[in-house]
Structure 1
């Protein structure tokens, strides 16, 4: 059961794998998503880009994009998105 009427959404909280998976599961018709000024994990970003096929605009400006590594390695804050993410995002206005 997905919500077909919601086409735009603004998120103002942490976007992790669970949150991104829930969005993909219930908001398949999402065309505009803003996660501006939040913490966004790299795996969550991949889930959003792969799962929201109708997405046209993705606002990730001023986000802290993180990648977690197995302990004892610290969390990494990404400064640039890698080519795999950029390729997935090329269909959207990012």
Structure 2
């Protein structure tokens, strides 16, 4: 992935708020849910199918008073984790959750 790519939330993602925390999970009950902290929730909410990785990092940087360039790698790593969990997809990505 590069910082100009645009992630989108997978149609197979399930999102719930549990005891105040945002929790995301894949489509089956056997997939481990992921409880998002404040920063992860901001990233998740920024995945809208229009913002690039760099734009998401810029949004996080503005929220926390950090330098965008310092956060791009961290945001990309989190998006990689979400992709591995099949919670995020990328345009043209051949990886699809199994039927």
TM-score range with shorter-chain normalisation? Answer: under 0.3
Normalized against structure 1, the TM-score is what?
0.27
Larger relative contact order, structure 1 or 2 (CA cutoff 8 Å, min sep 6): 2
Tell me which protein shows more helix as a share of its residues: 2
Normalized against structure 2, the TM-score is what?
0.27
